[in-house]
Each structure stands twice: as structure tokens, then as C-alpha cells.
């Protein structure tokens, strides 16, 4: 007998007599259509106090997510009467019946309804009902906080055979997501389910909303799949209580205010320390939704990136007030390209100049906001006394003189990264201040002068100042897109010839990485740069897009310069010489590629977009068969055909060092589209690439464990014994396609029925084996591209975003 009490205006006193199970066919159809499983079911007869002589047939059902009642209507049709999500359970208890000592009452409490079930004491039916409800709640609520657990009061004898369900493969997140979709009446998407599974299988602690919802190709570009606001809310529900993810990233996906507020609840978890909403369409309303959580001070955020959102001064003021009210320092703030003016910067600096923030701030990005003189003065006010480690102020129309003076007045503080790209250092007074910073700093590690308007003597002065610094040893210096040209390269050569006369070999420059991309050096300029830098301690050099073939230039100097880098620069570890639409090496690269066979120091090489063709690929492949040090290489966009890919495949069989292979996607895509009949061959080549990367990665990891693992003897004071333990170093060597393609195989092996879920942009079943092979090739390329994109999203220590890196 079952009675039910509801909070509706006309509560009913109902009695249910359990009589059997004959609704099986309807239950089977219902659970299949709703993606659920029937865990408990019983046919009942219902009578009401108003009409005790009228008997109505009902079915009581406990499914994967819900407690359901089903009624029979006219012409033997059946319909769902009630459907209550079990994850809203507030209480489950067994009470003694007042009228009969041999009967009990099972009380099931929900927010809007209370259901009393009268059954025989210790009957199998009572135990089955209790265990079903408790098991369902446990299964779907592993991610819920303790405060939401229902009150459970069940005697042990009713739970003797109860086995508590273990968390699913996603520690409860997957079940919580599915239960949330069920509660909201939203169909779960296969892409989202797979993302949660793959994150746990690969132990990825960064949640990326873009990767979660997936992409589709539109007009030859990858765009996000359309996701309803309801889906975003269900994703947020799954994330709200988990302690698995410690970072939230959304880049380029517009999020409405309601979803912003829902995702912001995730930041209440102490483990979440990073939040990234880049180009998410946040305006003042979105800033207000985010501020509601921040203002409470119930977060542990250390990193907040809101770049490329039209916040404006109003939205920034809302956030600043919330941050100030919450009294919790977010040590890294990024407001790049947020439409902020000098007024908004003044509001931000008023907060940052308070003692709490002065001590706690570590990184600040105000790039691509029109600061001008007034905003520069506000920023300088903060820089005079702060402990900032990283400053990004690119393309701000910055008064660099005020900034340099403030940094020097602070004694350079703890400043490690300084990025003033796109601003002006066009007067001798500004240049002298910059030279003083570079000459006296004890902490600077990264300096970016990309695309600055520079005085003609700036480059030689910068190199001299860095050389004269007696404190820093590994400066990363970016002087790309500064229009150095052939004349600038001559000045650089003259400076280094003078400096080298004071030192030995290798010449110590205090520079570990130098970026000279897009400086219009030309053939002679490249030769001057290489002659200047060869035999120095610089380990990374980038000369992308500096050579343009001309009618009056044979380009011979370029080939000789590149060959010199390989043969006579043993300190060089990473070298990049990518081409472009009008900047390609072609045959000039052949001697350089041949020289790689004897090189024993270079580890990373990029020569993409140089049109070296199949002949160049053949030379490169033969060299890499002998080379034992290069671990990463990029040869995409080089007019490679099937012949060139076969050369690379043969090389992969022999080579034992490559672990990070940048798949030539553009070339493979072109071949696959133009010659679909070669798809099977392409698939085999991609598999060989993958297998060789995996093999090399595993071998190198094994060698690292054997060679680098130290043995340390620790004395056990309690027992007087010596215990030998091994200190393993973390050697995370990942093959180029290993983390993406193998993951797809793992997911395919899960007991997950894809037909149960819906996904937008679903590919139709292939009509032939050829179509299937083409599709598999493109799927592999898509996964590899996703892996490449995810690597770029894992922003490095200097996390300022470049306008060209969307």
C-alpha cells in the first residue's frame, strides 16, 4: 500500500496495492526511448479516499535517474503520470507503522513531494525498493557536495545485500551530466560524453569548453558546434561539484550571462585556480554574473584571463569592485583587448595600489587597450612599488619613457617578463632607459620588442646592454617584425665582432633564445646574422620569413648560412626557418638538409612552407635515418606528394629519436581530396607515423628511467635499517599523435552505446570502403589538429596572447 503527499494545492490521499508486473513491454519501450534502465518495477492498484470503490491500474518504476509512476488510459494506452529526478532526493527512511507492527512505511522525500510506501516488515519488495533508490542516488551524485546529501535512516537488515555503486569512469561527472540532462529534458551529446571520458583517461585537468562541445567544418574552417544554452547549463551542472578539473578554459565560444553565472559556481571549489574566458562575448552583464561569485570571496582563483571581451570601462569597474570586495588576490590578471581606456586603467590601478594587491600581484596584461599618456601614468604609479613578475603592455600607444622610469625607480623589483611590443622606442632618451634596464636587471628572463617603432641604434645597443649584464644568463629576446633589414644585420655583425674579441668560445651573450622573424633580412642579411651569432651560447634561433627569392639574387648566401648553422654551431638546439607565400628556400635547402646527417646537437627543427618538394623530403629522410638527436620536426606545406610521404614513412621505421612529429596536414589533406583512391595508403602512413612516435617515446622514457633515475639510501631511524628507494624524474615524452589517436581507440573500447546520444554535425555512414578510408584519414587529421591546438592553448608562463594566434 502506497500513500503520497504533495505540496500542490489539492493534495490527495492515495492507496496503492502492489499486485504484479505486466507493464513490461511499455516499460521497455519507455526506458529505451529515455535512455534509462528499469531497476525496480511493480504493478499496483490505486484507490483514493474520495472513491474507495474505484480501482485504477498504475506502475511504480525506479529507473536510472527517476522515480516514475505510469497509468493506463483509454484503449489500453499507457502514459507517464509522474517523473521525479532521484538526484533531488532529500530523505529516505523506514518508519514503524502505527496500525500494524508487521508493516513498515518507507518514506521517500523530494523537494515538492513526499511518498510513503507501506510494506511487510523485512520483505524482499521493501529491500529491493530501498536499495534501488539509494543505489541510483549514489550513482548519479558522486560529484555533489556533502551539504546536498539526503537524510538516510535505513536499518542494516534492509541493506544486507546492498553493494554501493562505484564512481563511473569520470568519478561521477559523467553520471551527474546525464542526470542533469534528464532532469532538464535535454538530450545528452555524444561529443560531450566522450570529452569527459577522454579527460579522465588522459588525466587532463584543464577543462576546455571548445574541445568539449566539438567543432565542425564550415567553409573550410573549423567552427564550434552549435550548443543550446540548456546544454551549457548541464555541462556547468556536471562541473559544479567536481574536484577533478583545476582549470576552466573557453576560447572563442560565446557564452550567455546565465551560463557565465553557472560556470562561475565552479570557482567555489578550492581546487580551481585558473579561469579563462577569451573572446567569449562578455559585456558588462557577463562581468556582473562573474562578479557575483568573486565578490563573495569564496574562490581560490590565482589566474583570471578575460582577454578580447568587450568589457569596456563599465564591465572592468564591476569586476574590480567585486575583486576588491572579495579581498582575495588573483595574482595574474589579463584584460587584453577589452576596450579599456585610460579611465578604466585608473580604476584598476586604484585597486592594485592597495598593499594587499601590491604584494600579491604577479602578472598583469593590459595589451591592446588605448592607454596613451594618461593611462601610462596610472600604470607607472603601480609599477613604482609593486612586486610584479610579468608585464604585458603590447600595442597600447604606451608612453614607454614613463614605464621605463617607473621600473627603474622600483629597482626593477622582481620583473621577469617585459613585453612592450608594438609601442614606440623612437627617441634616444627612451633607448637609453631600456638599455639601463637590460644592463642592470637581476631577474629579467623574457623581453619582447616585437614590432616596435625603434631608433636606428636600438638593436646594437640592446645586444651590448645584454652582454654587459653580469647577472642574467638565459634571456629570451624577441625582436621580430622590427624592419631590421640588411643594414641592421650589418650593425649587428659589427657589434658581435667587437664583443667576440673580448671573450672566448663559445661566446657568452646572456641570450638563450633569439627571435628575428619577419625582419626583411634578405640573403645577405641572413648571412650577416649567422656570421654574427655562430659560436655563441644562443640555443634557440628563429629566422622565419626573412628570405625572398629575387631576380638579382642567387640565394647562395642563404644556403651557405644554413649549412654553417648545422656544421659550426654546436650550441644551437632549436632552429626555425619557416617560409611563406613569397619566402621559400626550395633547392637552396638541399645542402642544409644533407648536413643534418652529421649533426649531433640539434633537437628541434622547423622548415615548413619552403617548397622543398619530394626531392628535399628524400634528402631529409636519408639524413634523419642517421641523425640520433632531433626529436621534433615540422615539414608541412612543402609540396609533398605520395612519394614524399613514402620517404617519410620509410624514415620513421629506422629513426629512433623522433617523438614529436608535426604531421604535414596541408599536404595530406590536398592529396586526400585530389586522390581519394589513395586514402587507404594515407591511412597506413599515418598509422606508421603514430606507431613510430609511440615506440620512440616509450624507448626514450625507458632509457630516461634507467639513466637518470638516482638511487638514494635513506636511513630508517626506527629500525636501524637502510631502505633503498629510487627517485624517478618525470619524463613526459609524448608522441606526436599518441595522445589523440590512441585515445580514440580507448574510447571506442568503452561500453558506450553511441546510439543513445545525439550529436550535431554527425557524419553520415559511408557508402563505400573508399569513402570510409577518406573519412578515417580526415578524422585522424582532425584529432592531430585538435592536439596541436590544445598544446597552443596551454599558454606558457608568459601568457600574453598574440592578435594573430586566435
pLDDT digits (tens, 9 = 90+) for 412-425: 778 999 999 999 88
Q: Which domain holds residue 62?
A: 2-166
Q: Rounded distance, CA 572 to CA 209, Å?
A: 38
Q: Is the separation of the CB atoms in 151 and 720 below 8 Å?
A: no
pLDDT recorded at residue 768? 52
Residue 533: strand, helix, or coil: helix
Q: Rounded distance, CA 69 to CA 59, Å?
A: 5
List the one residue out of 410, 363, 427, 359 whose CA is nearest residue 389. 363
Q: Is the separation of the CB atoms in 360 and 302 below 8 Å?
A: no
What ranges in 115-172 are assigned the alpha helix state H?
124-140
- Say which residues have a Cβ less than 8 Å from residue 672's Cβ, sequence separation at least 6: 678, 679, 682, 774, 777, 778
- Say which residues have a Cβ less than 8 Å from residue 667's Cβ, sequence separation at least 6: 636, 637, 638, 639, 640, 641, 644, 645
- How far is CA 414 from its chain centroid? 28
pLDDT recorded at residue 434? 92
List the one residue out of 229, 231, 235 whose CA is nearest residue 257. 229
pLDDT recorded at residue 777? 65
What predicted TM-score, i.e. pTM, was given to this entire model? Answer: 0.74
* Residue 125 lies inside a defined structural domain of this protein: yes
List the one residue out of 285, 296, 222 whose CA is nearest residue 258. 285
The values of phi and psi at residue 568, to 5°, are: -125, 25
Q: Rounded distance, CA 694 to CA 687, Å?
A: 11
For 518: left if phi > 0, alpha if psi spans -120 to 50, otherwise beta; the answer is left
Domain count, the chain: 1
* Residue 399 lies inside a defined structural domain of this protein: no
* Residue 565 lies inside a defined structural domain of this protein: no
Is 550 exposed, middle or buried, given 0-12, 13-18 or 19+ CB atoms closer than 10 A? exposed
Q: Rounded distance, CA 685 to CA 646, Å?
A: 7
What ranges in 185-339 are assigned the alpha helix state H?
190-201, 209-213, 229-239, 257-264, 284-295, 312-326
pLDDT recorded at residue 393? 95
Q: Rounded distance, CA 603 to CA 288, Å?
A: 48
pLDDT recorded at residue 26? 66
C-alpha distances in angstroms, 413 versus 22, 353, 372, 403, 417?
A: 79, 15, 24, 13, 12
User: Residue 119's domain is classified under what CATH number?
Assistant: 2.30.29.30
* Residue 721 lies inside a defined structural domain of this protein: no
| Spans of the chain, pLDDT less than 50 | 1-21, 74-75, 146, 708-767, 789-806
pLDDT recorded at residue 723? 28
Amino acid at each position: 500500500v502506497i500513500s503520497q503527499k504533495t505540496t500542490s494545492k489539492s493534495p490527495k490521499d492515495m492507496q496503492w496495492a502492489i499486485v504484479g508486473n505486466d507493464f513490461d513491454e511499455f516499460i521497455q519501450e519507455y526506458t529505451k526511448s529515455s535512455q534509462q534502465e528499469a531497476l525496480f518495477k511493480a504493478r499496483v492498484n490505486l484507490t483514493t479516499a474520495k472513491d474507495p470503490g474505484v480501482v485504477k491500474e498504475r506502475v511504480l518504476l525506479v529507473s536510472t535517474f527517476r522515480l516514475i509512476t505510469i497509468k493506463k488510459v483509454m484503449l489500453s494506452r499507457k502514459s507517464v503520470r509522474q517523473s521525479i529526478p532521484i538526484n533531488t532526493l532529500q530523505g529516505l527512511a523506514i518508519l514503524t507503522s502505527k496500525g500494524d507492527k508487521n508493516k513498515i512505511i518507507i518514506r521517500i522525500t523530494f523537494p515538492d513531494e513526499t511518498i510513503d510506501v507501506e510494506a511487510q516488515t523485512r520483505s524482499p519488495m521493501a529491500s529491493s525498493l530501498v536499495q534501488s533508490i539509494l543505489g541510483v542516488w549514489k550513482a548519479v551524485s558522486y560529484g555533489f557536495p556533502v551539504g546536498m546529501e539526503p537524510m538516510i535512516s535505513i536499518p542494516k537488515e534492509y541493506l544486507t545485500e546492498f553493494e554501493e555503486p562505484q564512481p563511473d569512469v569520470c568519478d561521477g561527472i559523467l553520471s551527474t551530466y546525464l542526470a542533469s540532462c534528464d532532469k532538464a529534458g535535454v538530450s545528452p551529446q555524444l561529443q560531450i560524453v566522450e570529452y569527459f571520458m577522454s579527460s579522465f583517461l588522459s588525466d587532463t585537468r584543464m577543462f576546455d569548453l571548445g574541445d568539449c562541445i566539438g567543432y565542425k567544418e564550415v567553409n573550410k574552417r573549423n567552427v564550434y558546434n552549435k550548443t543550446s544554452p540548456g546544454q551549457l547549463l548541464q555541462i556547468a551542472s556536471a562541473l559544479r561539484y567536481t574536484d577533478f578539473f583545476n582549470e576552466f578554459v573557453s576560447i572563442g565560444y560565446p557564452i550567455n550571462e546565465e551560463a557565465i553565472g553557472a560556470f562561475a559556481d565552479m570557482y567555489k571549489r578550492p581546487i580551481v585556480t585558473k579561469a579563462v574566458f577569451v573572446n567569449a562575448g562578455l559585456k558588462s552583464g557577463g562581468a556582473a554574473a562573474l562578479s557575483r561569485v568573486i565578490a563573495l570571496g569564496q574562490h581560490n582563483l590565482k589566474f583570471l584571463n578575460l582577454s578580447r571581451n568587450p568589457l569596456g570601462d563599465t564591465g572592468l569597474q564591476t569586476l574590480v569592485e567585486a575583486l576588491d570586495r572579495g579581498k582575495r588576490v588573483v595574482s595574474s590578471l589579463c584584460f587584453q583587448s577589452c576596450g579599456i581606456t585610460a579611465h578604466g586603467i585608473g580604476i584598476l590601478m586604484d585597486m592594485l595600489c592597495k598593499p594587499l594587491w601590491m604584494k600579491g600581484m604577479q602578472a598583469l596584461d593590459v595589451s591592446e587597450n588605448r592607454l596613451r599618456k594618461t593611462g601610462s601614468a596610472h600604470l607607472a604609479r603601480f609599477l613604482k612599488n609593486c612586486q610584479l613578475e610579468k608585464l604585458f603592455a603590447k600595442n597600447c600607444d604606451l608612453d614607454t619613457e614613463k614605464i621605463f622610469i617607473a621600473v627603474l625607480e622600483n629597482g626593477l623589483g622582481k620583473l621577469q617578463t617585459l613585453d612592450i611590443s608594438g609601442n614606440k622606442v623612437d627617441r634616444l632618451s627612451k633607448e637609453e632607459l631600456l638599455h639601463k634596464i637590460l644592463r642592470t636587471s637581476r631577474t629579467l628572463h623574457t623581453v619582447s620588442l616585437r614590432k616596435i617603432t625603434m631608433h636606428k641604434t636600438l638593436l646594437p645597443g640592446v645586444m651590448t646592454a645584454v652582454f654587459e649584464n653580469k647577472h642574467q644568463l638565459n634571456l629570451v629576446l624577441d625582436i621580430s617584425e622590427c624592419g631590421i633589414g640588411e643594414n641592421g644585420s650589418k650593425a649587428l655583425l659589427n657589434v658581435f665582432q667587437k664583443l667576440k674579441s673580448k671573450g672566448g668560445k663559445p661566446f657568452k651573450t646572456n641570450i638563450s633564445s633569439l627571435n628575428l622573424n619577419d625582419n626583411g633580412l634578405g640573403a645577405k642579411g641572413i648571412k650577416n646574422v649567422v656570421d654574427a651569432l655562430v659560436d655563441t651560447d644562443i640555443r634557440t634561433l628563429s629566422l622565419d620569413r626573412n628570405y625572398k627569392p629575387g631576380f638579382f639574387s642567387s640565394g647562395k648566401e642563404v644556403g651557405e648560412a644554413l649549412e654553417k648553422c648545422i656544421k659550426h654551431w654546436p650550441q644551437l638546439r632549436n632552429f626555425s626557418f619557416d617560409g611563406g607565400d613569397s619566402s621559400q628556400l626550395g633547392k637552396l635547402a638541399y645542402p642544409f638538409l644533407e648536413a643534418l646527417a652529421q649533426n649531433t646537437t640539434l633537437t628541434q627543427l622547423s622548415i615548413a612552407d619552403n617548397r622543398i618538394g619530394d626531392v628535399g623530403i628524400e634528402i631529409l629522410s636519408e639524413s634523419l635515418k642517421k641523425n640520433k638527436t632531433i626529436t621534433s620536426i615540422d615539414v608541412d606545406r612543402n609540396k609533398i606528394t605520395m612519394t614524399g610521404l613514402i620517404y617519410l614513412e620509410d624514415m620513421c621505421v629506422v629513426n629512433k629519436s623522433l617523438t614529436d612529429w608535426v604531421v604535414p596536414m596541408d599536404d595530406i589533406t590536398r592529396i586526400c581530396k585530389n586522390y581519394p583512391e589513395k586514402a587507404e595508403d594515407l591511412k597506413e602512413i599515418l598509422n606508421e607515423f603514430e606507431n613510430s612516435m609511440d615506440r620512440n617515446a616509450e624507448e626514450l622514457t625507458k632509457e630516461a628511467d634507467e639513466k637518470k633515475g638516482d638511487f638514494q639510501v635513506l636511513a630508517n631511524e626506527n629500525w636501524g635499517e637502510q631502505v633503498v628507494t629510487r627517485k624517478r624524474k618525470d619524463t613526459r615524452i609524448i608522441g606526436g599523435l599518441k595522445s589523440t589517436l590512441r585515445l580514440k581507440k580507448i574510447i571506442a573500447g568503452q561500453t558506450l552505446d553511441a546510439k543513445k546520444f545525439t550529436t550535431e554535425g554527425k557524419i553520415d555512414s559511408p557508402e563505400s570502403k573508399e569513402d570510409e578510408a577518406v573519412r578515417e584519414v580526415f578524422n585522424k587529421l582532425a584529432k592531430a589538429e585538435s592536439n596541436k591546438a590544445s598544446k597552443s592553448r596551454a599558454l606558457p608562463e608568459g601568457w600574453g596572447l598574440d592578435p594573430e594566434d586566435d
